[in-house]
């Protein structure tokens, strides 16, 4: 499967130049391109769902048995997102896999991990300030506050999930309500099926001569590649279109307190369809000292909520008996992020932890850049794998 | 009430009013700076596109620091 991905993946330079070409041109044309890309996203998610169903059959649970250890699922989500640098891509792929039969319970820690993995982007952006000591301290803390918040969120909600299945129950309840209700139902969104089905069926038919597992694998690879391309292009296009609107929203949030910060972070992320764009934006704003760490903190939390829109959009691509599960995992993503913000930000003690953690780390990192390197390598790659080993040892 | 006490109270009142005015001016100056910084959002967005260059800049600094700390003197 990875071979196909490698063979079909365009070179990064080629993607960048195509993206640059797309980001120019009249606005109406960009909107048409965005509509086309959204359509491609829906097809891609449906392709992954169909492919996974073909490849795994009734053995989806066995195929992901390694991730039945929640820590392993968390690590898969973290590392995959840190490598791809897009939580929207990873959560959309997860929605597709759930549609193909991956149990929601296994997917939930992956979604939590995607939240952690996505924070690597703004940390890398903050490294641009490394030559200017005080500026680097402010920029690095503005970037890592998001990491500390997301790690705290996992520390609170993963045990609750393991013990009580809190998010799975909440998502299950809400998705059955939405699928069952006539007014706002997935049945109501069934217009998606006729437009998404033809290309998926076309690809399925084209691969009909191959063994079922192989054609399923190829469909998954094509779907993953398409999601990656769509999210990259759509992000660039929306950035160029929405920068003016984002400015307006930020201007209106100045001096209006944390709730306004959370709301503006949410809306800006929905507009640009990328939490890492939103959280990276605040790095130079904080680095220059114009915005304080406490002022950018709510804005980054809003990014966590706003990013859920992509998985919800991806879930609308799924029809049939698994639609309810695809919607469930997308809603779990939303509930997890909303509850995380509500619980952590409303409890003063918890609210202060990410601030203190980010400040302390930045204080150390500004004097010793090796700490910054060890932090990035450790938190996104080394610690996750150590955690898998530790949890397997404890469980086994 | 003694004249001295009245005088001190009056001075405190004046200073508090001046302080409040200064705080208001500071808040206004901060907000102006923030609005100005937001106006440069396009530049900040471009910074994101060059994030890999950040690692390229960061790496020699880390290597140098590693040599300084652990290299043979």
Query: So what's the pLDDT on residue A156?
Result: 95
Q: How many CB pairs lie under 8 A apart between chains A and B?
A: 84
Domain range annotation of chain A: 2-395
A15 or A350: which leads in pLDDT: A350
CA end-to-end span of chain B, whole Å?
A: 75
pLDDT for res A1: 38
Q: What does the pLDDT read at residue A234?
A: 82
Q: Is B42 on the interface with A (CB under 8 A)?
A: yes
* Residue A361 pLDDT: 94
Residue the block writes with tokens 């944390």: A258
In A, residues 265-294, which contact B (CB 8 Å cutoff)? 277, 280-281, 283-285, 288, 290-291
DSSP state, residue A10:
P
User: Do the beta carbons of residue A325 and residue A102 sit within 8 Å?
Assistant: no
Q: What is the mean pLDDT of chain A?
A: 84
Give the DSSP letter of residue A129.
Answer: G
CA A108/CA A55 separation, integer angstroms: 22
- pLDDT computed for residue B40 by the predictor: 84
pLDDT for residue A142 is more than 70: yes
CB contact under 8 A, B66 and A124: no
Q: What is the pLDDT of residues A22-61, one digit of tens each?
A: 556 677 788 888 888 888 888 888 888 888 888 877 676 6
Calculate the dihedral angle through the C-alpha atoms of B40, A239, A344, A139, rounding to the nearest 10 degrees.
Answer: -40
With an 8 Å Cβ cutoff, are B27 and A255 in contact?
Answer: yes
User: Would the CB atoms of A128 and B54 count as touching at under 8 Å?
Assistant: yes
Selection from A151, A95, A109 nearest residue A383 by Cα: A151
Q: How far apart are CA A7 and CA B28, in angstroms?
A: 56
pLDDT at A3 over 50: no
pLDDT single digits (tens) A348-386: 999 999 999 999 999 999 888 888 889 988 888 888 888
Instruction: Please give the share of chain A, as a percent, with pLDDT higher than 70.
Output: 89
Residue A186 banded pLDDT, cuts 50, 70, 90 = very low
Confidence of residue A396 (pLDDT cuts 50, 70, 90): low
State how far the alpha carbon of A67 is from the alpha carbons of A62, A70, A71, A393, in Å: 10, 6, 8, 15
Residue with tokens 């080394």: A382
Q: What is the mean pLDDT of residues B7-20?
A: 95
Q: How many CA atoms lie within 13 A of A207 on its CB side?
A: 22
CB-based contact A150:A142 (threshold 8 Å)? no
Q: Enter the tokens of residue B41.
A: 């959002």
The answer to whether the CB atoms of B62 and A131 lie below 8 A apart is: no
Tokens 């903190």, residue located: A297
Q: Which of A118, A136, A131, A176 has the alpha carbon at shortest distance from A328?
A: A176
- The CA distance from B12 to A388, in Å, is 63
| pLDDT for the residue numbered B23 | 95
B73 vs B62: CA distance, rounded Å: 18
SS3 call for B15: helix
How far is CA B23 from each of CA A353, B10, B14, B16, B30, rounded to the nearest angstrom? 28, 20, 14, 10, 10
Check: CB of residue A248 under 8 Å from CB of residue A287: no
Q: Do A277 and B50 touch (CB under 8 A)?
A: no
Q: Give the number of other Cβ atoms within 10 Å of residue A151's Cβ.
A: 20
pLDDT for the residue numbered A245: 83
- Rounded Cα–Cα distance for residues A246 and A269 (Å): 9
Burial of A68 (0-12, 13-18, 19+ CB in 10 A): middle
């Amino acid at each position: 499967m990875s071979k196909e991905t490698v063979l079909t993946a365009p070179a990064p330079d080629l993607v960048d130049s195509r993206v640059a070409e797309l980001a120019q041109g009249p606005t109406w044309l960009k909107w048409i391109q965005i509509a086309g890309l959204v359509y491609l996203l829906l097809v891609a998610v449906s392709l992954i769902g169909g492919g996974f169903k073909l490849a795994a059959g009734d053995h989806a649970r066995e195929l992901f048995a390694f991730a039945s250890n929640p820590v392993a699922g968390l690590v898969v989500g973290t590392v995959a997102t840190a490598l791809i640098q897009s939580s929207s891509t990873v959560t959309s792929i997860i929605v597709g896999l759930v549609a193909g039969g991956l149990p929601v319970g296994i997917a939930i820690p992956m979604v939590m991990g995607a939240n952690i993995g996505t924070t690597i982007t703004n940390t890398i952006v903050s490294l641009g300030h490394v030559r200017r000591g005080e500026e680097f301290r402010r920029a690095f803390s503005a970037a890592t506050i998001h990491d500390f918040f997301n790690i705290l969120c996992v520390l609170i909600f993963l045990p609750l999930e393991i013990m009580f299945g809190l998010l799975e129950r909440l998502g299950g309840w809400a998705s059955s309500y939405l699928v069952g209700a006539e007014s706002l139902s997935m049945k109501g969104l069934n217009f998606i099926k006729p437009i998404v089905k033809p290309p998926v069926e076309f690809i399925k038919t084209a691969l009909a001569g191959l063994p079922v597992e192989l054609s399923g694998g190829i469909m998954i690879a094509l779907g993953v590649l398409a999601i990656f391309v769509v999210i990259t292009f759509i992000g660039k296009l929306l950035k160029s279109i929405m920068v003016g609107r984002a400015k307006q929203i930020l201007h209106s949030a100045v001096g209006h307190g944390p709730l306004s910060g959370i709301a503006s972070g949410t809306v800006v992320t929905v507009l640009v369809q990328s939490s890492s764009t939103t959280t990276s934006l605040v790095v130079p704003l904080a680095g220059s000292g114009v915005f304080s760490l406490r002022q950018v903190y709510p804005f980054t939390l809003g990014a966590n909520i706003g990013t859920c829109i992509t998985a919800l959009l991806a879930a609308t691509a799924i029809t049939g008996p698994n639609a309810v599960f695809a919607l469930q995992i997308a809603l779990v993503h939303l509930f997890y992020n909303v509850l995380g913000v509500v619980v952590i930000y409303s409890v003063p003690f918890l609210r202060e932890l990410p601030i203190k953690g980010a400040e302390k780390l930045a204080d150390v990192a500004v004097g010793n850049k090796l700490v910054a390197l060890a932090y990035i390598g450790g938190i996104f790659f080394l610690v996750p794998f150590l955690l898998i080993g530790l949890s397997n040892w404890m469980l086994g | 009430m003694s004249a001295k006490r009245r005088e001190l109270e009056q001075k405190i009142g004046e200073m508090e009013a001046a302080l409040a005015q200064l705080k208001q001016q500071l808040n206004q100056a901060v907000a102006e700076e923030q609005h100005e910084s937001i106006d440069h959002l396009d530049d900040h967005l471009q910074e994101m596109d060059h994030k890999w260059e950040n690692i390229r800049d960061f790496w020699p600094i880390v290597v140098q620091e590693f040599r300084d700390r652990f290299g043979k003197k």
